Amino acid sequence: MGELLIASNNQGKIVEISHLLSELAARIVTPESLELEFDVEESGQTYAENAALKASAYARATGLTALADDTGLEVKALNGAPGLHSKRFSSHPGATDADRRVLLISRLASYPPPWEARFYCVVAVVDPRGEVFLSEGECRGEIIPEERGHNGFGYDAIFLLEGIGLTMAELDLENKNLVSHRAHAVRSAIPRLKTLLNR
């Protein structure tokens, strides 16, 4: 059985991606399970560059095939912000997901709703030789001013899904993994992963 490293320290992402990869005949490992402690600077100018930077660094460090994602929330009224800087939207050190949600709503207060938005995700798979495979996914909806739901993480509680009428945070893991941006991107990578892990 091959090993696949999910190159993330975000427990929410790890849970979602592990669930999506359950069909693979592979042992899923994480930086924590391998006692790896290092951060990769997300210095890329695109989601693809950042995802590839993370996956490549972990693949080099472990000799394993590594999967990483880079995801952003893009709000139309804010010209695509926070986008690449979704995790670093607040300039305050130690800002939480809740802090970033409050900041986003405050930035949108002067614009008339609906506040159209999308989540966009790029997944990078890097094999031990350094070969990079990319896939992408998106999910459309709008930002709402009040938080709804207790699942998920990040901006999920204020992202109302198009055509569903629920926020991301109101979905359980199984249903989120049917519709989310990350789910679309990871599923697109599965054929490539099967090839790499069966070598």
Residues belonging to the active site = 70
Q: How many CB atoms lie within 10 A of CB 27?
A: 13
Residues 87, 47 contacting (CB under 8 angstroms): no
